[in-house]
Amino acid sequence: MKKLTFNNEIFEAEKIIKTDKDIIGYDINDNEIFSFKEISDFTGFVLKDENDVVIEFSLPPVTEAERLKNLEDAINMLMFM
């Protein structure tokens, strides 16, 4: 379980994802349980693990289109080396 601290409040979630403007917490079934939208300054947010060690945010999920584009780019790079 990860813990997000903001404004002296603790928010717990199985997975906490940070995008360029949002922070979203998900439970074990990938249901959204909290979110902070349109954030302009992330300095007040601290993410910790179950041992209270500061950790990095999870990466946002990759869309199918992004995944295919990344695969195509990798194949093209290998073909033209």
Nearest to 57 by CA among 45, 40, 70: 45
pLDDT in tens, 39-80: 999 999 999 999 999 998 877 778 899 889 999 999 999 998
Question: At residue 81, does pLDDT exceed 90?
Answer: no
Residue that is written with structure tokens 């349109």 in the block: 38
| pTM of model > 0.75 | no
Q: Please give the Cα distance from 35 to 22 (Å, whole number).
A: 7
Strand partners, 9: 6
Strand partners, 6: 9, 45
Q: pLDDT value at position 59?
A: 77
User: Do the beta carbons of residue 59 and residue 47 sit within 8 Å?
Assistant: no
